[in-house]
């Protein structure tokens, strides 16, 4: 889950321990243009202090007014809709007639937020079920599911660990990619069994592993909150990681290399127990085609593609002759 939302949940547990009355606000539906997607969280106490965001600021201001006026729910969750008409859409900064539906949940012992945080810290995907009539919460293990489901009576939200990025291979590009990924909330793990590279890897905040790439992928058990990017240019390392990552539910799997190398890689992968559909999940050459040349520019292109895929945006690559039919054609066009 996003680090900002994780901060909201952590703060809610902290405020609850301090006996501060607070309300957890969840975006459950949007229509038209909306600043924040479903599942976004905000925490607000009765004095109007907030953590998180559900809009560009105008809705937060209105919620602060509600809090200070004592108009936030105290016993059971409530549903609030903003932007129901053109006047409201303009007032709350919702262009194109957008609307946002929020659930306002009083934070109590029934919220089970401490239990939820404990599960998240163990890298588990958890489905949180909130009954709006009673305010009771149930937590249950989950596989792949929608981030938010709301039928007017029950709110189901999917929670998991922070987004993780596993990078195969240390080096200059890895340093840039690690630093940038951490800046947008990823927990970064770098795997490189080569001693000479491991000795030079020192990016603050990055978890470093020297185990073999395939073993590392299996141990980390990639879920829909994880991306895997292979950057060594060495098939003996990159391919090992890709063989396991492409069989997982990682939302993004990419590998660096030229178009010729990408085609060779796909032919090698077909020799193993991977389906065409699994191989088709591979993003290669990795990253959006931005004309990137320097390590920092390439890191930006990789993160840009990851963000697009994570947000469900269809990526249209513009690499010249992106998918030629044979290696010979690919080499001729390189």
Q: Which of 108, 129, 159 is the last residue of a domain?
A: 159
Q: Work out how many domains the chain is built from and give that number.
A: 2
Does 86 have pLDDT greater than 80?
no
Is there a single domain that holds both residue 169 and residue 111? Answer: no
- Give the model's confidence band at 244: pLDDT under 50 very low, under 70 low, under 90 confident, else very high: very high
Does 28 have pLDDT greater than 60?
yes
Is there a single domain that holds both residue 170 and residue 310? Answer: yes
Q: What percent of the chain has pLDDT over 70?
A: 86
Query: What's the average model confidence in pLDDT over 273-282?
Result: 95
Is there a single domain that holds both residue 152 and residue 178? Answer: no
For residues 57 and 74, the model is more confident at 74
Is there a single domain that holds both residue 51 and residue 78? Answer: yes
Q: How far apart are CA 262 and CA 259, in angstroms?
A: 5
Model pLDDT, residue 311: 80
The per-residue pLDDT for range 116-138, each reduced to its tens digit, is 998 888 877 789 999 999 999 99
- Give the model's confidence band at 320: pLDDT under 50 very low, under 70 low, under 90 confident, else very high: very low
Core vs surface per residue 210-239: b (16+ CB within 10 A) or e: eeebbebbbebebbbbbbbbbbbeebebbb
Q: How far apart are CA 256 and CA 302, in angstroms?
A: 9
Is there a single domain that holds both residue 169 and residue 155? Answer: no
Is there a single domain that holds both residue 119 and residue 260? Answer: no
Is there a single domain that holds both residue 144 and residue 238? Answer: no
Domain range for 291: 164-333
State how beta strands 164-168 and 187-191 pair.
Answer: parallel
Q: Which of 115, 136, 159 is the last residue of a domain?
A: 159
Does 67 have pLDDT greater than 70?
yes
Query: What's the average model confidence in pLDDT over 25-45?
Result: 86
Supply φ then ψ for residue 255, to 5 degrees: -145, 140
Is there a single domain that holds both residue 195 and residue 320? Answer: yes
Least confident of 107-121, 132-146, 149-163: 132-146
Is there a single domain that holds both residue 224 and residue 140? Answer: no
Does 43 have pLDDT greater than 60?
yes
Strand partners, 282: 253
Is there a single domain that holds both residue 25 and residue 141? Answer: yes
Model pLDDT, residue 229: 98
Q: What is the value of pTM for the model shown?
A: 0.67
- Give the model's confidence band at 314: pLDDT under 50 very low, under 70 low, under 90 confident, else very high: confident
List of residues 6+ apart from 86 with CB closer than 8 A = 97
Q: Which of 159, 181, 200 is the last residue of a domain?
A: 159
Is there a single domain that holds both residue 201 and residue 91? Answer: no
3-state secondary structure 96-152: HHCEEEEEEEECCHHHCHHHHHHHHHCCCCEEEEEECCCCCEEEEECCCCCCEEECC
**Helices 213-220 + 235-245 axis angle, to 10:** 20
Query: What's the average model confidence in pLDDT over 66-73?
Result: 94
Query: What's the average model confidence in pLDDT over 315-334?
Result: 44
Query: Average pLDDT of the chain?
Result: 86
Model pLDDT, residue 125: 79
* Token pair in block for residue 108: 């109590």
Does 197 have pLDDT greater than 90?
no
Model pLDDT, residue 159: 86
């Amino acid at each position: 889950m996003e680090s900002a939302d994780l901060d909201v949940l952590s703060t809610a547990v902290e405020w609850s321990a301090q006996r501060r009355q607070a309300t957890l606000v969840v975006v459950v539906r949007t229509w038209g243009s909306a600043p924040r997607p479903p599942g976004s969280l905000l925490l607000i106490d009765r004095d109007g202090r907030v953590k998180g965001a559900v809009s560009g600021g105008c809705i937060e201001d209105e919620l602060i007014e509600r809090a200070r006026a004592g108009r936030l729910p105290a016993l059971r969750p409530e549903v609030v809709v903003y932007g129901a008409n053109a006047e409201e859409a303009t007032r709350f900064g919702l262009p194109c007639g957008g609307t946002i539906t929020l659930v306002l949940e009083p934070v109590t012992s029934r919220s089970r937020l401490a239990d939820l945080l404990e599960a998240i810290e163990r890298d588990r995907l958890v489905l949180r079920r909130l009954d709006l009539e009673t305010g009771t919460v149930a937590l249950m293990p989950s596989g792949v599911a929608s981030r938010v489901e709301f039928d007017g009576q029950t709110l189901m939200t999917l929670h998991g660990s922070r987004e993780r990025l596993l990078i195969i291979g240390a080096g200059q590009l890895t340093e840039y990619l690690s630093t940038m990924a951490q800046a947008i909330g990823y927990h970064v793990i770098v795997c490189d069994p080569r001693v000479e590279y491991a000795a030079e890897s020192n990016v603050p905040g990055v978890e470093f592993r020297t185990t073999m790439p395939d073993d590392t992928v299996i141990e980390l058990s990639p879920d829909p909150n994880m991306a895997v990017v292979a950057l060594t240019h060495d098939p003996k390392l990159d391919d090992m990681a890709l063989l396991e990552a492409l069989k997982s539910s990682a939302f993004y799997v990419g590998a660096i290399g030229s178009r010729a190398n990408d085609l060779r890689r796909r032919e090698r992968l077909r020799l193993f127990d991977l389906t065409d559909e699994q191989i088709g999940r591979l993003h290669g050459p990795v990253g959006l085609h931005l004309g990137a040349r320097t390590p920092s520019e390439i890191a930006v292109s990789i993160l840009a593609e990851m963000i697009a895929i994570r947000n469900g945006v269809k990526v249209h690559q513009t690499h010249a002759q992106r998918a030629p039919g044979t290696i010979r054609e690919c080499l001729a066009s390189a």
